[in-house]
Amino acid sequence: MQVTDVRTTPFADQKPGTSGLRKKVPVFQQPHYLENFVQSIFDSVPGLKGATLVLGGDGRYYNLTAIQTILKMAAANGVTQVLVGRDGLLSTPAASCVIRKHRATGGIVLSASPNPAGPTEDFGIKYNTDNGGPAPEKITEAIYARSRAIDHYRIMQADAVPLDRLGEQRLGDMRVVVIDPVADYAELMESLFDFPRIRALFQSGHFRMRFDAMHAITGPYAEEILLRRLGAPTDSLLNATPLEDFGGGHPDPNLTYAHALVDILFGTDAPDFGAASDGDGDRNMILGRNFFVTPSDSLAILAANATLVPGYAQGIAGIARSMPTSQAADRVAAALNLPCYETPTGWKFFGNLLDAGKVTLCGEESFGTGSDHVREKDGLWAVLFWLNLLAVRKQSVAGIVQEHWQRFGRNYYSRHDYEGVDSAAATALIEDLRAQFATLPGRRFGAYTVAYSDDFAYTDPIDASLSTNQGIRIGFTDGSRIVFRLSGTGTEGATLRVYLERYEADTTKQGLDSQTALADLIRIADELAGIARHTGRDRPTVIT
């Protein structure tokens, strides 16, 4: 088969964001656009020549087209073997699992995660390294730099490789192995959690759950694990068939976009447990009967209860959370005498800590939780962790959370997103906040006094790499915080994220609705940042 060198010119906008390169499908469909980025990966990671590569995506529109192109480019670039999920499917955590288990040199994961899918919606691509995790900034920067200078890419002239049957095929000298996208992952889950005990919980007849796969990648995983291996009744699963356009939905498991599930859990005769995952299966939302567990609390609760789960029975080494995530996990770490790390937003910052054995559990406020079992956040893993806890503790979700607050205090927490705002206005808002840094400390806002204000910067404790401008923090003397960040995953305009947190130790004051408890801080955030003035919005698009 013939390899062609195709002449090309650079695109200026191929800078990976928080989690890979995300653009509208028509952007990726421009001639050479996808090819340029993929060749930039091969050029920046020379070790891929002669190596094994893992390939798969969340099944969204354009997934299969991109996979066929990447296969032909991998063959032309000297890759020895590609492990590709059947029908081009692999959830993000499953891709991480497969890379690690089969000792691949890396993986290419196709996803725009919770963003809507379809011919005019979003697509994405990212590179994961041999630890199974998203490439660190050093590599994404190199890929970007290469994309600015690229003048040709290599591709093999060949027919499409059939991906609907398991087994080995050849593309030139390269082996293409179509693998079951679920098998390795399901086996890993079974090694971590007490499946017999969870199975008994379902068989007891006193426990009902609903898992909403939101027509995205987790449907087949949930069918195998929850239904087949754990014996949950079939009505436990909602929207389990993956669709190219996610059924027209927005598979972001939060109170706004997963409202159908929220309505069930807050309705009459609600089940005991509800959960949802996102487009590529790495996020999770946890609900109890009439109860929402914030992702920050979920991380803290998993950490506090980890020894109840077989995979973590020996205890955990430490906890890491992204900077905007609430400090609930810090309190657990302090009580258990464990180290706790604060990293910038994005899972790539957890990789070094996990590899070095410094932490076992990691979490982000954006519905991401995970552990050292892979190097991505993992939606179904979090659901199974909660199921294992519920099976052991035999309490309701609300009961477990409330007991946690009594012991550690409650970190009231909320995130307000202003989606699709004008980019220049969003940048001006952030600049205005920066300009106030010098005068903020000591300033009083009602009962709150500013203790510090800064731009979060992070020095990786393992490789000393420095990441600056990772969000604006305004801390108050009582430990409350307001954080402002611009999203790095959007494809239209800018998204302003405002993160609000207040600690409440008094057990008689822990029952408030979070928006009520945070009302003063919400007002202060607007006063400081002029959100309405800059964005022209009088309320957030999404509140979680």
Catalytic residue list: 113
Query: Of 18 and 326, which CB lies nearer to ligand VG1 in the complex structure?
Result: 18
User: Interface with ligand VG1 includes 471 (CB under 6 A)?
Assistant: no
Q: Are 132 and 100 in contact (CB under 8 A)?
A: yes
Instruction: Give Cα separations from 205 to 200, 232, 271, 396, 397 (angstroms).
Output: 9, 10, 12, 15, 17
Q: What angle do CA 439, 443, 447 make, to 5 degrees?
A: 160
Closest-CA residue to 376 (of 14, 3, 20, 1): 20
Q: Are 540 and 438 in contact (CB under 8 A)?
A: no
User: Interface with ligand VG1 includes 242 (CB under 6 A)?
Assistant: no
Q: Which residue reads 């220049």 in tokens?
A: 424
Q: Which does 385 bind (CB under 5 to 8 A by kind): ligand VG1, Co ion, none?
A: none
DSSP summary character for residue 537: -
Considering only the stretches 215-223, 284-292, 362-370, 432-440, report the one whose residues sit in contact with ligand VG1 under the rule CB under 6 A: 362-370
Nearest residue (beta carbon) to ligand VG1? 113
Contacts with ligand VG1 in 302-331 (CB under 6 A)? 322
Q: Which does 345 bind (CB under 5 to 8 A by kind): ligand VG1, Co ion, none?
A: ligand VG1
Alpha helices, H only, 204-342 = 218-222, 259-265, 295-305, 328-336
Shortest distance (Å) from residue 422 CB to Co ion: 26
Question: Quick one: CA dihedral 280, 319, 375, 230, positive or negative?
Answer: negative
User: Interface with ligand VG1 includes 487 (CB under 6 A)?
Assistant: yes
User: Interface with ligand VG1 includes 488 (CB under 6 A)?
Assistant: yes
Q: Which does 415 bind (CB under 5 to 8 A by kind): Co ion, ligand VG1, none?
A: none
Shortest distance (Å) from residue 169 CB to ligand VG1: 30
| 33-44 and 137-147 helices, crossing angle to 10° | 130
Contacts with ligand VG1 in 254-293 (CB under 6 A)? 278, 282-283
Shortest distance (Å) from residue 362 CB to ligand VG1: 11
Shortest distance (Å) from residue 324 CB to ligand VG1: 8
Reduced to 3 states, what is the DSSP secondary structure of residue 190? helix
| Encoded tokens for 55 | 């390939």
Shortest distance (Å) from residue 278 CB to ligand VG1: 5
- Beta-bridged to residue 41, according to DSSP, are none
Q: Which does 295 bind (CB under 5 to 8 A by kind): ligand VG1, Co ion, none?
A: none
Q: Mind spelling out the 3-state secondary structure of 370-429? A: EECCCCCCCHHHHHHHHHHHHHHHCCCHHHHHHHHHHHHCEEEEEEEEEEEECHHHHHHH
User: Interface with ligand VG1 includes 250 (CB under 6 A)?
Assistant: no
Q: Are 55 and 108 in contact (CB under 8 A)?
A: yes
Shortest distance (Å) from residue 111 CB to Co ion: 7
Query: Of 282 and 378, which CB lies nearer to Co ion in the complex structure?
Result: 282
Q: Which does 368 bind (CB under 5 to 8 A by kind): Co ion, ligand VG1, none?
A: ligand VG1
Query: Of 1 and 542, which CB lies nearer to Co ion in the complex structure?
Result: 542
Query: Of 225 and 494, which CB lies nearer to ligand VG1 in the complex structure?
Result: 494
Rg (CA), the chain: 23
Query: Of 109 and 232, which CB lies nearer to ligand VG1 in the complex structure?
Result: 109
Closest-CA residue to 252 (of 265, 243, 261, 241): 261
Contacts with ligand VG1 in 329-358 (CB under 6 A)? 345-347
Q: What angle do CA 156, 159, 160 make, to 5 degrees?
A: 105
Question: Quick one: CA dihedral 521, 366, 291, 238, positive or negative?
Answer: positive
Closest-CA residue to 276 (of 267, 268, 286): 286
Binding mask 112-151 for ligand VG1 (x = CB under 6 A): -xx-------------------------------------
Q: Which does 347 bind (CB under 5 to 8 A by kind): ligand VG1, Co ion, none?
A: ligand VG1
User: Interface with ligand VG1 includes 18 (CB under 6 A)?
Assistant: yes
Q: Which of 364, 372, 378, 460 binds ligand VG1 (CB under 6 A)?
A: 364
Query: Of 86 and 283, which CB lies nearer to Co ion in the complex structure?
Result: 283
Query: Of 347 and 448, which CB lies nearer to ligand VG1 in the complex structure?
Result: 347
Shortest distance (Å) from residue 262 CB to ligand VG1: 19
Q: Which of 52, 77, 366, 388 binds ligand VG1 (CB under 6 A)?
A: 366
**Residues that bind Co ion in the complex, under the rule CB under 5 A:** 113, 278, 280, 282-283
Shortest distance (Å) from residue 494 CB to ligand VG1: 10
Contacts with ligand VG1 in 161-200 (CB under 6 A)? none
Query: Which residues, other chains included, contact 222 with Cβ-Cβ below 8 Å and sequence gap of 6+?
Result: 211, 213, 237, 240, 380
Closest-CA residue to 543 (of 405, 393, 415, 366): 415
User: Interface with ligand VG1 includes 207 (CB under 6 A)?
Assistant: no
Q: Are 544 and 256 in contact (CB under 8 A)?
A: yes
Number of residues that bind ligand VG1 (CB under 6 A): 18
- Binding site residues, ligand VG1, CB under 6 A: 18-19, 113-114, 278, 282-283, 322, 345-347, 364, 366, 368, 487-489, 497
